Amino acid sequence: MLLLHIDSSADATADSVTRRLTALFTRTWKAAHPAGEYRRRDLAAAPVPPLTAAYTLLGRRVEREGFVPPAKVPALIGTAAERREWDLTLPLITELRAAHTLLLGVPMYNLCVPAALKAWIDRVTFPGAFKDPDSGESLLRDTRVVALMARGGAYGPGTPREACDFQTPYLRAYFINLGVAPDRFHAVAAELTRVDVLPHLAGLEQRAAASHAAAEQAAKTLATST
């Protein structure tokens, strides 16, 4: 059982709510699964390089061949630039394919996900990487995805800015489209995390504390389940 932990917050300090939530999940998961394997990527400390033209050229060649599995991609590489792109991409694909649980720390930046996480998503989504070449079924159908999120304001159901949440719907649509079963995707958000610094949020301190406490409890509950 492998837990793949990915943080994407640009804030590497204790001020990061998502880093605190993913750390809580990780501690709880390790205690509940002492024999489990754990891997972590910090996308702020070690960013995934953005895609280049060589990545897209190689991807289109793979598509024309019928979405071959990763093991057969090297035979289709035509240039040194394509080789570099594949060498950057394959380790990310391999990690995700091996994961039983993918844990994501995702702050809301400008109504959506951080660019650091989007770069990881763009690179890992290589044609055919998560399809069984024989059955066509998704190799991620049993993978569990837990997205622990933070928002400076309030964007949950029933709030005035609910329609501005492009974070949760994007992540859910992306992973389900990638082949994760809908009931294996879990999104948890701590809201109003900037209540202590933004004047227009004054008076919402209790609501912010309740949201954060609920997110912590959800993180612990998900960490002990499979």
Residue of 224, 138, 121 whose CA lies nearest to 182: 138
The answer to whether 103 is a known ligand-binding residue is: no
**Considering the chain, what is the average pLDDT of its residues?**
94
Q: What is the mean pLDDT of residues 24-47?
A: 97
The 10s digit of each residue's pLDDT in 58-89 is: 999 999 988 789 999 999 999 999 999 999 99
The 10s digit of each residue's pLDDT in 181-202 is: 999 999 999 999 887 877 777 7
Q: Is the pLDDT of residue 114 over 90?
A: yes
Residue of 68, 71, 50 whose CA lies nearest to 59: 68
Distance separating alpha carbons of residues 152 and 196, to the nearest angstrom: 10
The answer to whether 174 is a known ligand-binding residue is: no
- What's phi and psi for 54, nearest 5 deg? -65, -35
pTM score of the predicted model: 0.94
- Whole-angstrom CA distances from 134 to 35, 68, 137 are 32, 10, 8
The answer to whether 111 is a known ligand-binding residue is: yes
115-124 vs 80-98: helix crossing angle, rounded to 10:
100
Q: Is the pLDDT of residue 121 over 80?
A: yes
User: Which strands form 2-7's sheet, in the order they lie side by side?
Assistant: 37-42, 2-7, 101-107, 144-150, 185-190
CATH of domain 2-223: 3.40.50.360
The answer to whether 177 is a known ligand-binding residue is: no
Residue, of 55 and 192, whose pLDDT is higher: 55
Q: Is the pLDDT of residue 136 over 90?
A: no
Q: Residue ranges of the alpha helices (H) in the chain?
A: 17-32, 53-64, 80-98, 115-124, 168-178, 205-223
- Looking at this protein, which amino acid is placed at residue 102? L
The answer to whether 110 is a known ligand-binding residue is: yes
